[in-house]
Structure 1
């Protein structure tokens, strides 16, 4: 093998090894930051790993929101119609959080029936209307405006949970 060809081969091998190391380090760093999304049905089926950071989404079950009036603790049921589990969150919930409303929570699955949320995001659909606009429509007597229960049918905190 002549020296020029040997030098090219060494350069190509060095570049490939460098790219392999860079890709390996990148995937290792990304692996720690990946948040997978699971539905209540997938969690009930055992598809979600325990004690792993993840995102869950579904509808807040009507009649399950329990707030502790002395702290910011909130417990509620999350469902997709085929699976259900309890979400515990300590903090201020978003303004769009309501029973029957879709949410996405970021946190850790403690057991197949309990999720510890670090963040709760309320979703709205294409029929979302800002509260100020809804109030103006209600005052005008618009047939599309509906009055929502401001408390959302929430219950007081009881130590026993549900």
Structure 2
């Protein structure tokens, strides 16, 4: 019996790294960059106009949340650009890991339903919600890519262990 599969039979598939090179990642990248552009256009245009009509507390919340939003999106864009650079061979995985240390993916929480939230324009609340969902997706992908790569030892694969036991029991000698 021959094994035509690439790489070691017992090597786990690292889904995060595979996803990072997929069409799905390219879609995530486009989505993130479009959200950055849409947010910038809103904050420089309609958002500026809408913020003038807010009550005093709402104006403070608007200023705070718009700063959190832009900071969150700039960090996400930085991460997406780093990953794209790795995917396109412009940077090694190790170089990106070193640069990634400067990118802050966690934090930048929003008050979402706290005092002043209802005063915010609906479009700003929508942009905040979309950016938080994008942030959550990028964090999961970052964990899948970089935490899997930094694991000290691969986790035991129970399916592989069972296949090995079956192969040995029936004389296949799989080790």
Normalising by structure 1, what TM-score? Answer: 0.22
More helix per residue: 2
Q: Kindly indicate which of the two structures has a greater share of residues assigned to strand.
A: 1
The structure with the larger Rg is: 1
